[in-house]
Amino acid sequence: MRLSVVGCGYLGAVHAAAMASIGHEVVGIDVDQAKVEALASGRAPFFEPGLQEILTEGISAGRLRFTTDMADAKGAVVHFVGVGTPQQKGGYAADLTYVNAAVDALLPHLSPGDLVAGKSTVPVGTAADLAPRVSATGATLVWNPEFLREGFAVQDTVDPDRLVAGVPTGPEGERAADILREVYHPSVGKGTPFIVTDYATAELVKVAANAFLATKISFINAMAEIAEVTGADVTQLADAIGHDARIGRRFLGAGIGFGGGCLPKDIRAFSARAEELGRGESVAFLREVDEINLRRRDHAVTLTVQALGGSVFEKNVTVLGAAFKPHSDDIRDSPALDVAVRLHGLGAHVTVTDPEAITNAKNIHPQLTYIHDRDEALTGADAVIVVTEWDEYRRELDPTHAKTLTRGTIIIDGRNCLDATAWRNAGWTYHGMGRP
């Protein structure tokens, strides 16, 4: 089937390449000339495991191409819209400028019977507003939210755990759902749940999922705050309650909290939309979820200051990690960089290392020192803080070896990902998050 993908950022580029990898003919369209040129030449503009391989394969096979010309969308059966919905400046609500612009630019190139499939994360009610504009061309709007995890985005697109299609009522909606089933035929054929809903439910699925995950993370971080004043161990607490099948252990890792381009902005936009709908009290707890999350960054900085005797001024602090999570070079709302910048502001000499995110971090925060080599970054440090749980730090860094490189022996485990006993036995003063 011929498909177009409007918006070739993180979501769109992965979706375009993944759809080509399962046999579709795909054109990716974006207004950013530099991004399009990189993709067209077979270069992934960001780090995502597996993307480079399917991007190269799709272009070589002739199933995938990229352009800045929206007219090239004409002739596609399904047009995916995957542009960004950033947080509005000066507010919490989502900015729909790019969604509206993408749909308006696409309208002249639609044909009767086409599908426009929204994938962007939008406030509930957006699809209902857009549908009449799409219907006026004879095309049909559907909402097909994405559920990508950065670091696993290719896998989540090619082999998702569920597919959701928000469609209009009646025969038009049934036809639209059948077309989407055909688009995702490998997944549908293997029994992946394909859930057909109305527009509003499809829009809520994404934000509700993100709100739940954010709440679960902030819950265990709230328990870490209690553990810190009682002497309890939040990691043992998480293990114990995680055995309850109703709760589960995933996303109960206490630390410095979540970041990235989705969870923080999505829960804020959800709160803002609920206020607009007159139901702000229904998700008022999300404000506290956000506040707990931000407090953990404060706590990581405080732990470092206290461990260094009350001041980090003129001290050498090595920060292990810059990306908001491992297997990504994404630094959007990165807790790691937030902590690094705050320590720098307190007068510390901050050195940051990361396997993939240094270039992006340097562009935004050039005041920090960046060193690619982990051991070189550790050399001469008075304190080390782990803020992104790359395997290079949590599994492959030997505490005895690290001690031969640093000047001090203070380790702040901002992700509770290290073996505390091993580090203490090697002579380090270990500080975890919510651990005695």
| pLDDT, average across residues 353-373 | 98
| Beta carbons of 202 and 168 less than 8 angstroms apart | no
> What is the distance between the alpha carbons of residues 333 and 81, in angstroms, rounded to a whole number?
24
- Paired tokens of 78: 């399904």
At residue 14 the predicted structure's pLDDT band, cuts being 50, 70 and 90, is: very high
pLDDT digits (tens, 9 = 90+) for 367-423: 999 999 999 999 999 999 999 999 999 999 999 999 999 999 999 999 999 999 999
Strand 140-143 versus strand 115-118 pairing type: parallel
> What is the distance between the alpha carbons of residues 181 and 183, in angstroms, rounded to a whole number?
5
What is the reported pLDDT for 404? 98
What is the reported pLDDT for 143? 98
pTM of the model: 0.94
What is the reported pLDDT for 334? 97
pLDDT digits (tens, 9 = 90+) for 130-179: 999 999 999 999 999 999 999 999 999 999 999 999 999 999 999 999 99
E strand or H helix at 344, and its extent?
helix 335-345
Catalytically active residues, by annotation: 262
Q: What percent of the chain has a predicted confidence (pLDDT) above 90?
A: 100
Number of Cβ within a 10 Å radius of residue 371:
16
Average pLDDT of every residue of the chain: 97
What is the reported pLDDT for 102? 98
| Beta carbons of 94 and 86 less than 8 angstroms apart | yes
pLDDT digits (tens, 9 = 90+) for 241-294: 999 999 999 999 999 999 999 999 999 999 999 999 999 999 999 999 999 999
What is the reported pLDDT for 97? 97
- Which one-letter DSSP state was computed for residue 94? B
Helix then strand then coil, in percent of the chain rounded to 5, is 45, 15, 40
pLDDT digits (tens, 9 = 90+) for 99-135: 999 999 999 999 999 999 999 999 999 999 999 999 9
What is the reported pLDDT for 92? 94
